[in-house]
Amino acid sequence: MKLLFVQPSPGLGAGGLDAAIRNLSAALSAAGNCRVDSMDRAGSWQADVVHFHGLWQPWHRAISRECLSRGIPYVISPHGMLEPWAWRHKWWKKWPYYWTCERGHLRSAAGMFATSAMESAHLKRFAGAVPVEAIPLGLTGDAGPDYDRARSVLGWSSEGTVLLYLSRIHPKKGMHLLLEALRGPGPGKISRLVVVGGGEDAYVRRLRDYARDHSADLPPIEWIGEVWGEDRWKYFQGADLFCLPTFSENFGLAVLEALQVGTPVLTTTGTPWAELLPGDGGRVVNPDPESLRNGLGAMLSVQTRDPGHRRALAEKTHGEFGWSRLAERYLAAYRTLAGKKPGSGT
């Protein structure tokens, strides 16, 4: 089977989306009998299925029309770009573009991929007759638990309780909610908040100013900045608890990365992890300061650094989200789509 991936413009796929696309491509190639090319390398248009990643790219509509004219079915993964929060963000720009370009692109697809049942339900509002299939994303690396070594490398005390935030710093991600939650009574066991990520200077500056102004009520905060690649794993491995206080995620790849190294997670109902969280891997609360505060208190009242618990959590996560299992689901979906007539979703 030959697949052609149409990827986001440079810069738009940084971080989780880039990792998701890269790992899916590698897993499909490793599964055998499958070749994956990207749009800039394909050239000949020889493909059984074209897979669009992301939305809101003017050149996507031209490619989808070419697919229709050549009889090549295509599938779209919005990667969260049609989630309610994202849809409301700059809606005044998106509505005109949606009706003039994006709607036709979406409804001429042979199918759409969601990463969770929650995203699938949201996509059906836009899909019309186009079928939507939910298949989760998989692991972004081979890392596993390594708590003691990571703490040593990072210079963190073996006694202190470290809370980690590792994600893009953006209003959607709810970092300001976490800072408010930490000011109240309850999460007093936290000895350090480590913030790994970058964002727009003005928003990051507001957060840092807030933290400085309320430093008497907050644990010490380390602002690490952006960390990519293999270097990020030691933060996940050494943390006692990972928190993603987001308003909206179609999946939440950072949650998966914490779980795969055995670190428990506190996240929100803005993610699909209430349906995906393995066993006692964490807690899902509403995205507001009080709920986060209560969730932190509940999570910190149990032992988060027990090696056996971390190992079991990591093993369960690797079993459920390993690519050797998920790649077959994607390949089966591609095979079904390859037999469809282009534009059958209109």
Looking at residue 271, the DSSP 8-state letter turns out to be S
Asked if residue 80 lies in contact with residue 250, where contact means CB atoms within 8 angstroms, the answer is yes
Q: CATH topology of 2-138+322-338 equal to that of 147-321?
A: yes
**pLDDT score for 192:** 93
For the chain, domain boundaries:
2-138+322-338, 147-321
pLDDT, tens only, 83-105: 888 888 777 788 888 888 899 99
Pairwise pLDDT comparison (189 vs 119), residue with the higher score: 119
The pLDDT-based confidence of 346 (bands split at 50, 70, 90) is: very low
The pLDDT-based confidence of 303 (bands split at 50, 70, 90) is: low
State yes or no: pLDDT of 345 exceeds 60: no
Strand order in the sheet with 162-166: 221-225, 192-196, 162-166, 241-244, 265-268, 282-285
* Nearest-angstrom CA–CA distance, 266 and 300: 10
What b/e string do you get for 140-156 counting C-beta neighbours within 10 Å, with b at 16 or more?
beebbbbbeebbeebeb
* CATH-assigned architecture of domain 2-138+322-338: 3-Layer(aba) Sandwich (3.40)
* Nearest-angstrom CA–CA distance, 189 and 301: 9
Q: What are phi and psi of 266, to 5 degrees?
A: -115, 120
Q: Which CATH class is domain 147-321?
A: alpha beta
Distances (CA, A) of 241 to 66, 165, 244, 256, 318: 48, 9, 10, 13, 19
pLDDT, tens only, 217-266: 999 999 999 998 899 999 999 999 999 999 999 999 999 999 999 999 99
Contacts of 22 (CB under 8 A, 6+ apart): none
